[in-house]
Structure 1
Amino acid sequence: MASPAPFARYEWMIAWRYLRAKRAEGGVSVMTWISLVGITLAVFALIATLAVRSGFRAEFIDTILGANAHVTVYSTAYVSETGATSRQIEEYAQMADAVRAVPGVTRVAPLVKGQVMASFRGETSGVEVHGIRPEDLQSVPRVAEPLDSSGDLSRFGAEDVAGIAIGSGVARELNVVEGDVIRLISPDGARTAFGTTPRVSNYEIVYVFTAGRYDIDRTRVYMPFAEAQTYFNAEGAATELEVMVENPDEIEQYELPILQAAGPDAILWTWKDASGSFLRALDIEDNVMFVILSILVLIAAMNIVSGLIMLVKNKGRDIGILRTVGLTEGAILRIFFICGSLTGIIGTVLGVILGCLFALYVDPIFSAVNYLSGGGAWDPSIRGIYALPAKLEWGDVLSAVVLSLGLSFIVTIFPARRAARMNPVEALRYE
């Protein structure tokens, strides 16, 4: 007579009976529930943390790449005809054409940048002016398609109005709206026989945007390129070139071709150079959080061991009887392995469901937490973005599932082996 195949139906029936047995019947239902809840919460915490981590990183990088250059091209310092040290790019049009011809480069825009003081009815704020051509500004993703906006971007650079575009943070600091006229004050203004005098000019706000990143919205002002050249004494020149590429994550492969195209006097500064330390800190934090939460999953899995050891001890008489009627050591091992692994499987499934629901509904959940905490749960001035993001990646879910099931299966083997090796004679001696 052929022996039954491993994990036969009777093995599942016995294991299920043991799992749902009450303590009075020799079961450990309370420990089973504790193990189940522990695994569920641990997997939920792991998936939720990984989702928030992925969402924060994606949002942070998207706000950087959506409103800033992937590569910025500068010029080395040189002595101008007036004897002053300058870094302006005189032949910016030719340099832009050369860089634009590099494979993988999608956009090149000359800029004139400077820091000035903005003023409106007694309110002042330091801002960074970006002089840019209207057609180039309309191709900046986080400005042309912002989270929120007011005004008309098509009026930017119009001949009938001295219009500028400002971030919503600047508008909030100055208490201005679209249509107001603000004053920009630059200490490096007109050059006269008596020295340099501050330059003061008035500009109408034609567009207010929310890029989604606090430091950009709080400081960014866009001015038409030709106006910025005059305002910052850069007639016929640009201070830098803003370069966008197809694959900014692999920005290293573009550096050498862009540098060769820009010429021997060019200097490059990539978005990873600007944000590299923060990205490295995120990577370290990601690894540390994964290790910590993995330990939580391990602790939850150890509850399965405790419950299973108690179950083996309480079912010693049953094990002796089962061995006496012909069950092999392998069958006993599989029965108790099923008891432990089922707890891990069910807890993992419930944890995955809760974690995915958290990631999908993080906005209303965060809104509720923010409301209950009095509105101070998230400070964009510290974290850079306006809300807690979550991005559900199936790779993160799979890693959480593999970790939880793997630990649950591994820790279950040891008490299951102890049950399988129990001597039936010893188990029934005092019965």
Structure 2
Amino acid sequence: MIAWRYLRAKRAEGGVSIMTWISLIGITLAVAALIITLAVRAGFRAEFVDTILGANAHVTVFNSITVDDSGRTSRVMEDYKEKAERIRQIPGVTRVAPLIKGQVMANNRQYNTGAQVFGISLEDLKGIPRIASGEDQIGNIDDFDRGVAIGKGIANTLGLGVGDKIKLISPNGTKTAFGVSPRVKVYEVVYIFSVGRYDIDGIRIYMPFKEAQSFFNREGVADELEVMVAEPEKVDDMALDLLRAGGDRTVLWTWRDASGAFLRALTVEDNVMFVLMSVLVLIAAMNIISGLVMLVKNKGRDIGILRTMGLTEGSVLRVFFICGALTGLLGTLFGVILGCLFALYFDPILAFVSGASGGQVWDASVRGIYKLPALLQFKDVMSAIALSLGLSFIVTIFPARRAARMNPVEALRYE
């Protein structure tokens, strides 16, 4: 009762309502900023990992390099069908697709761009989640066997649409008496996909497996096997089984090997951002000390009277602890509500900011993915609540103890 009376006291009555409001607003904004930051960071990581797992092999199986008598190196698989069948028998493996890979120059009229061609069967192409389904896909994937599928970035660069022709130029073409002549072939674009990754959509082309074997001089062989598993996070635990099934010369390259450095950098950045935002919460919580110190100073006579009436040091400490803790509790509550609402409506807010600024706030060519989602996670909200309440309660103890230890005689000496 006493604590609530002090918090509601007007300045003329010796209260510090202005300082209380400043502390409350500071903690609210700090907690909201922490929750929004954690949600955006979690959303970015989830979207980035999903684009990796939804458009790339979880494990790539290929052969080690061999050198023939003439000094030429090769790592092609002659027994790719048998090897793929053995790998399919491993528990946890959901799909195994033989691939042909090659670099080409893609051309349409006066436009040119470099591209990476993946030779794959229609059935296996349909098994790639981000390729087979999505809002931005154009065309019919079932027509794949009579043309090629290209990324949205290539389509935009070359000015292509479904039904247009794309010219592919490979430097490793037909061998002649005068050397190797480039191989040039024109294909119909039957499908345009978008996996949500700027770097993939801008360079990737899918070609029917048999046609890719012919185009890249890989008749009867495959370059590698694309393996998808049910639990990509546990792919390292399957490495030994995959190596045994692959046999001699088998080499593995997992999605963690390909993107592990970037993901580790994201983890470090997440930790740094949490520390920085925690400092912001601490600064906001320090305002509670200022308000309580002023409150204790203004209520010195009241403390002396209460002590002479029999109120114990512990009771005085609880009065002022409740004053500070209640400010922290309400600030945390309002901050959680504000932060969660901001995270839930992050997409329209970001769109509004982009429109108001007259430019594109999120540049996919720099950040890799097309959108920045906010993923609100229970553990992030709870960590923000625990941090805010913990700091609020800790900083409240010191001025509350000072009030509790105040000598009633000194407090009333000049009254």
| TM-score, normalized by the shorter chain, greater than 0.5 | yes
Return the offset for 1:210: 1.1
Q: Kindly report which structure 2 residues correspond to 1:158-237, keeping only aligned pairs within 5 A, or say none.
A: 161=146, 163-237=147-221
Return the offset for 1:389: 1.4
User: What's the counterpart of residue 9 of structure 2?
Assistant: 21
Kindly tell me: are residues 259 and 171 of structure 1, through their superposed partners in 2, closer, same or farther at Cα, counting changes over 3 Å?
Answer: same
Query: 1:412 & 1:201 partners in 2: Cα distance?
Result: 75
Give 3-state SS (helix, strand or coil) of 1:89's partner. coil
Root-mean-square deviation (CA, aligned residues, Å) is 1.2
User: What's the counterpart of residue 258 of structure 1?
Assistant: 242
- Which of 9, 14, 28 is residue 40 of structure 1 equivalent to? 28
Q: Does 1:135 align with 2:119?
A: no
Deviations 1:5-46 (A, max 9, x none): xxxxxxxx2111111111111011111111111101110111
Q: Does 1:151 align with 2:129?
A: no
Return the offset for 1:81: 8.4
TM-score, length of structure 1 as denominator length: 0.94
- Which of 37, 44, 58 is residue 49 of structure 1 equivalent to? 37
Query: 1:411 & 1:176 partners in 2: Cα distance?
Result: 63
Query: 1:345 & 1:297 partners in 2: Cα distance?
Result: 13
User: What's the counterpart of residue 63 of structure 2?
Assistant: 75
Query: 2:247 & 2:18 partners in 1: Cα distance?
Result: 74
Q: Does 1:401 align with 2:389?
A: no
- Which of 81, 84, 104 is residue 96 of structure 1 equivalent to? 84
Instruction: Determine if contact 1:147/1:212 at 8 Å carries over to the other structure.
Output: no
Query: 1:70 & 1:146 partners in 2: Cα distance?
Result: 20
Return the offset for 1:377: 1.5
Query: 2:13 & 2:409 partners in 1: Cα distance?
Result: 22
Give 3-state SS (helix, strand or coil) of 1:72's partner. strand
User: What's the counterpart of residue 360 of structure 2?
Assistant: 376
Return the offset for 1:82: 7.6
Q: Does 1:63 align with 2:76?
A: no
User: What's the counterpart of residue 411 of structure 1?
Assistant: 395
**Which shows bigger deviation, 322-331 or 92-101?**
322-331
Q: Kindly report which structure 2 residues correspond to 1:259-298, keeping only aligned pairs within 5 A, or say none.
A: 259-298=243-282
Give 3-state SS (helix, strand or coil) of 2:406's partner. coil
Give 3-state SS (helix, strand or coil) of 2:149's partner. strand
- For 2:349, give the aligned amino acid: I
Query: 1:358 & 1:212 partners in 2: Cα distance?
Result: 24
Deviations 1:332-365 (A, max 9, x none): 1111111000110010011111111111111011
Query: 1:258 & 1:192 partners in 2: Cα distance?
Result: 41
Query: 2:315 & 2:56 partners in 1: Cα distance?
Result: 64
Instruction: Determine if contact 1:146/1:212 at 8 Å carries over to the other structure.
Output: no
Query: 1:362 & 1:80 partners in 2: Cα distance?
Result: 58
- For 1:29, give the aligned amino acid: S
Give 3-state SS (helix, strand or coil) of 2:303's partner. helix
Give 3-state SS (helix, strand or coil) of 1:188's partner. strand
Percent identity, please.
67
User: What's the counterpart of residue 4 of structure 1?
Assistant: none
5+ residue gaps, structure 2: none
Return the offset for 1:146: 2.3
Query: 1:20 & 1:400 partners in 2: Cα distance?
Result: 27
Query: 1:120 & 1:358 partners in 2: Cα distance?
Result: 45
Kindly tell me: are residues 208 and 81 of structure 1, through their superposed partners in 2, closer, same or farther at Cα, counting changes over 3 Å?
Answer: farther
Query: 1:261 & 1:233 partners in 2: Cα distance?
Result: 27
Kindly tell me: are residues 406 and 28 of structure 1, through their superposed partners in 2, closer, same or farther at Cα, counting changes over 3 Å?
Answer: same
Query: 1:91 & 1:179 partners in 2: Cα distance?
Result: 36
User: What's the counterpart of residue 342 of structure 1?
Assistant: 326
**Which shows bigger deviation, 191-200 or 217-226?**
191-200
Give 3-state SS (helix, strand or coil) of 2:206's partner. strand
- For 1:36, give the aligned amino acid: L
TM-score, length of structure 2 as denominator length: 0.98
Query: 1:146 & 1:179 partners in 2: Cα distance?
Result: 20
Kindly tell me: are residues 238 and 82 of structure 1, through their superposed partners in 2, closer, same or farther at Cα, counting changes over 3 Å?
Answer: farther
Give 3-state SS (helix, strand or coil) of 2:414's partner. coil
User: What's the counterpart of residue 307 of structure 2?
Assistant: 323
5+ residue gaps, structure 1: 1-12
Return the offset for 1:123: 0.7
